[in-house]
């Protein structure tokens, strides 16, 4: 039986069911979007042509073919990204975490929804200030639209977003993600500790943090009652910015509402010292969250750099997840996350761009930085290669690893029956077959023709960018297509 809701995808499919090897298959996948979720209904790896596909799959559905010079790949999962910080990508100077927050981050975040933000008094290059009459919510729309489009253009089909303190702007992010069609966890940021948060960007009380979080949870559930595309996530910024009361409130809310949680953990040495001074009664940074009931199997902890053995053990026991943000950890001088240690101890790890501590909205770039940083960790261990994360494991972290971290294992990040069609069509460009071929290619990848597909994927990982992402689907819906 034909159905208007069915689509056949034909071509080369590459994914990473294990961290050790690419799975490279050619054939066809049938996606059924009739219930709105766009799942893979059937796959046939004997199909050899588009015509063959309809007969072998037994449906008269339209066929979408990947180019011979490319392949389908699962959409990337960004397990840690600050949507309002996108305007600041690449701007961090010589700061480290704590001065970076006050110099760059709080001003840009507060400008979305708060007319008293320092952004509106900053002198612009032309000598003027940003006009105060800019509607802060219009600014949120501009910034969030750009963030969603940029991340989609780089192949991020699922993202776990930190928004800002503004309920209205955060709800707007949920609306935009739902309309544009990116799978998104939407977190209203909570910060109520007067000793560490600026007056212009702080909840007036723990109660305000709680009530505002509830309002955003309710909005997300209204936007998407299924919670499959857009879902709320409780977001205490990090321990230093929250009172004990607020952390406890949010832990209780996570439990009573059965909602995901995200926060930062042990990113920077000065931050760790600050936590120690602010929470002297707790035995570790991890214990601050654990004591508040914030460590659950639905919790995403970003960074997790300076952990002792006991903290890792606690995280593993609670089933909490870790978002590894290599670029940000380098840029802000935070330190090395021992990804291999975490994996060996049974902790699930995914990758995060951490825009704008991280400079790039691209998870492909995060794969590269993860590979490099893993070798640097090995340098500290006499060059031991056991620390190394290669292309295959990096891509596995970016897809399957990420799916575990956001609580969607088996549903996204892999091409299996029953998983959603969250996918990218990657094109690498034509072979350089002719000896006279002398044009610089249209993207960063150069294919000469002799490369295996493992080689080609490596070339994509190391020199690819948004130009290689031709089309992007989320739940079977086409949500991005390059014009050229």
**What does the block give as tokens for 239?**
């321990």
Q: Tell me the C-alpha distance between 166 and 135, whole Å.
A: 13
> If DSSP codes are grouped into helix, strand and coil, which group holds residue 77?
strand
Shortest distance in whole angstroms from residue 142 CB to its own copies: 5
Q: Does 248 bind its own copies (CB under 8 A)?
A: no
Q: Does 22 bind its own copies (CB under 8 A)?
A: no
- Count residues near its own copies (CB under 8 A): 74
**What does the block give as tokens for 470?**
């031709």
On whether the CB atoms of residues 14 and 24 are closer than 8 A, the answer is yes
Tell me which residue of 334, 325, 391, 320 sits closest to 352, measured CA to CA: 325
Q: Does 398 bind its own copies (CB under 8 A)?
A: no
H or E element: which one contains 42?
strand 39-44
Shortest distance in whole angstroms from residue 408 CB to its own copies: 25
Q: Could you tell me which stretch among 40-48, 219-227, 338-346, 381-389 binds its own copies (CB under 8 A)?
A: 381-389
Q: Tell me the C-alpha distance between 419 and 411, whole Å.
A: 4
Q: Could you tell me which stretch among 63-71, 164-172, 251-259, 380-388 binds its own copies (CB under 8 A)?
A: 380-388
> If DSSP codes are grouped into helix, strand and coil, which group holds residue 177?
helix
Diameter of the chain measured on Cα atoms: 72
On whether the CB atoms of residues 260 and 158 are closer than 8 A, the answer is no
Q: Does 150 bind its own copies (CB under 8 A)?
A: yes
Q: Does 131 bind its own copies (CB under 8 A)?
A: no
Options 62, 194, 346, 383; binder of its own copies; rule CB under 8 A:
383
Pairing of strands 477-481, 6-15: unpaired
Options 100, 466, 472, 479; binder of its own copies; rule CB under 8 A:
466
81/327 with CB nearer its own copies: 327
Q: Does 309 bind its own copies (CB under 8 A)?
A: no
Site string for its own copies, 255-274 (x = CB under 8 A): --------------x-----
Options 142, 179, 226, 317; binder of its own copies; rule CB under 8 A:
142
Transcribe 239-302 into DSSP letters.
GGGS-HHHHHHHHHHHHHHT-EEEEEES--HHHHHHHHHH-TTSSSHHHHHHHTT--STTEEEE
Q: Does 138 bind its own copies (CB under 8 A)?
A: yes
User: Which residue's structure tokens are 């480290």?
Assistant: 96
Q: Could you tell me which stretch among 50-58, 122-130, 240-248, 394-402 binds its own copies (CB under 8 A)?
A: 122-130
265/332 with CB nearer its own copies: 332
116/388 with CB nearer its own copies: 388
**Dihedral through CA 146, CA 152, CA 155, CA 161, nearest 10?**
80
Options 89, 168, 215, 316; binder of its own copies; rule CB under 8 A:
89
H helix and E strand count, the chain: 16, 17
Q: Does 87 bind its own copies (CB under 8 A)?
A: yes
Q: Could you tell me which stretch among 2-10, 190-198, 405-413, 437-445 binds its own copies (CB under 8 A)?
A: 437-445
Dihedrals phi, psi of 300, to nearest 5 degrees: -110, 120
Dihedrals phi, psi of 100, to nearest 5 degrees: -60, -40
Q: Which of residues 322-351 bind its own copies (CB under 8 A)?
A: 327, 330-331, 333, 335-336
State the CB neighbour count (10 A cutoff) for residue 437.
Answer: 11
Q: Does 463 bind its own copies (CB under 8 A)?
A: yes
Site string for its own copies, 208-247 (x = CB under 8 A): ----------------------------------------
Rounded to 10°, the helix 167-180/206-223 angle is 20
Q: Could you tell me which stretch among 14-22, 157-165, 413-421, 429-437 binds its own copies (CB under 8 A)?
A: 429-437
Shortest distance in whole angstroms from residue 411 CB to its own copies: 27
Options 56, 139, 188, 282; binder of its own copies; rule CB under 8 A:
139
Q: Does 376 bind its own copies (CB under 8 A)?
A: yes
Options 130, 205, 252, 341; binder of its own copies; rule CB under 8 A:
130
Q: Which of residues 441-460 bind its own copies (CB under 8 A)?
A: 444-446, 448-453, 455, 458-460
Q: Does 195 bind its own copies (CB under 8 A)?
A: no
Options 141, 178, 214, 248; binder of its own copies; rule CB under 8 A:
141
- From residue 185, give the alpha-carbon distance in Å to each of 78, 217, 381: 10, 10, 37
All residues at 6 or more sequence positions from 40 whose CB lies less than 8 Å from its CB, including other chains: 29, 30, 31, 415, 416, 417, 418, 419, 420, 421
């Amino acid at each position: 039986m034909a159905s208007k809701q069915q689509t056949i995808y034909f071509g080369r499919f590459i994914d990473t069911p294990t961290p050790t090897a690419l799975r490279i298959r050619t054939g066809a996948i049938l996606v059924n979007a009739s219930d709105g979720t766009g799942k893979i209904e059937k796959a046939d790896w004997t199909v050899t042509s588009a015509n063959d596909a309809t007969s072998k799959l037994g449906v008269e559905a339209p066929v979408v073919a990947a180019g011979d010079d490319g392949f389908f790949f699962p959409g990337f999962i960004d397990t840690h990204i600050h949507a309002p910080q996108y305007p600041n990508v690449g701007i961090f100077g010589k700061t480290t975490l704590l001065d970076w927050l006050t110099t760059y981050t709080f001003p840009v975040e507060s400008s979305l929804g708060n007319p008293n933000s320092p952004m509106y008094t900053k002198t612009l290059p032309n000598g003027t200030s940003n006009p105060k009459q800019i509607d802060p919510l219009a600014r949120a729309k501009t910034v969030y639209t750009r963030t969603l489009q940029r991340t989609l253009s780089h192949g991020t089909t699922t993202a776990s977003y930190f928004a800002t303190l503004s309920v209205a702007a955060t709800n707007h992010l949920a609306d935009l993600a739902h309309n544009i069609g990116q799978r998104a966890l939407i977190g209203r940021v909570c910060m109520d500790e007067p000793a560490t948060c600026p007056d212009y960007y702080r909840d007036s009380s723990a109660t305000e943090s709680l009530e505002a979080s509830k309002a955003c949870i309710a909005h997300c559930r209204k936007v998407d009652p299924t919670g499959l595309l857009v879902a709320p996530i409780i977001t205490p910024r990090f321990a230093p910015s929250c009172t004990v009361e607020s952390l406890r409130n949010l832990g209780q809310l996570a439990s009573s509402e059965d909602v995901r949680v995200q926060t930062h953990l042990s990113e920077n040495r000065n931050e760790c010292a600050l936590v120690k001074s602010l929470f002297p009664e707790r035995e570790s940074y991890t214990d601050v969250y654990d004591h508040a009931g914030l460590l659950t199997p639905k919790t995403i902890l970003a960074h997790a750099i300076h952990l002792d053995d006991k903290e890792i053990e606690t995280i593993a026991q609670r089933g909490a997840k870790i978002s590894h943000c290599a670029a940000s950890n380098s840029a802000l001088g935070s330190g090395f996350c021992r990804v291999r240690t975490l994996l060996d101890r049974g902790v699930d790890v995914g990758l995060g761009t951490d825009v704008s501590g991280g400079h790039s909205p691209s998870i492909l770039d995060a794969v590269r930085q993860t590979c490099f940083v893993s070798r640097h960790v090995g340098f500290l261990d006499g060059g031991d290669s056991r620390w190394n994360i290669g292309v295959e494991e990096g891509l596995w972290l970016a897809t399957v690893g990420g799916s575990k971290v956001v609580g969607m294992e088996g549903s996204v990040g892999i091409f299996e029956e029953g998983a959603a069609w969250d996918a990218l069509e990657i094109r690498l460009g034509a072979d350089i077959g002719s000896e006279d071929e002398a044009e610089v290619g249209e993207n960063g990848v150069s294919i000469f023709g002799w490369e295996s597909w493992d080689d080609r994927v490596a070339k994509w990982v190391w020199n690819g960018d948004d130009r290689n992402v031709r089309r992007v689907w989320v739940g079977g819906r086409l949500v991005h297509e390059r014009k050229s």
